[in-house]
Amino acid sequence: MEPLPHLNGRGEVRMVEVGDRPHTLRQATAEGLITMAPAVLQAVMEGSSVKGDVLAVARVAAIQAAKRTSELIPLCHPLALSGVDVAIAPQQGRSALRVEVTARTTGPTGVEMEALTAVQVALLTLYDMVKAQDPAMTIGPVRLLRKEGGRHGAWSHPASARSALSVEG
């Protein structure tokens, strides 16, 4: 087994050196789900929640989270993101919202953590915005769907073709 790159020769945690890696286009997509009462989902989709446009606030929160990931995750490198796309769609058969975030950069390290953090913060924001109407909402699962770029190339989650999150109902 290869030694972990986040440990130095003495076994101490360190930030991995990426300065000598080539700058390549990198992209990662993550998804997550929040399940809620049908009436709450309807109010969110209609924009009639007491807190206003819940979906817009969650989108902005996801973008902010992607930009600040290195401040939250101790060993993440700060990245210059070139784009963050946020999609939030109802899953009517499940009475849920599915959040999908794609983050992009051109740099020496990947953007998986930015995509995952953005999804999590969007889900938490959705929860916060309507928790008074449904404190029993459930968040999860959350997962990386795919990533591209860098020395490892493209990768897709083995279950993404039959995603329980991606399929309506």
On whether the CB atoms of residues 134 and 142 are closer than 8 A, the answer is no
User: Side chain identity at 92, as an amino acid letter?
Assistant: Q
Give CA–CA dist 159/169, Å, rounded. 17
Whether 128 sits among the annotated catalytic residues: the reply is: yes
Start-to-end C-alpha separation, the chain: 42
3-state secondary structure of 93: helix
From the candidates 20, 85, 128, 134, which is the catalytic residue? 128
Sheet with 24-35, side-by-side order of all strands = 81-91, 96-107, 24-35, 138-148, 155-156
Query: Is 32:142 a contact under the CB 8 Å cutoff?
Result: yes
Evaluate the omega torsion of the peptide bond into residue 90 and state whether it is cis, within 30 degrees of 0.
Answer: no
Note the Cα 77 to chain centre separation in Å: 17
Residues with catalytic annotation? 128
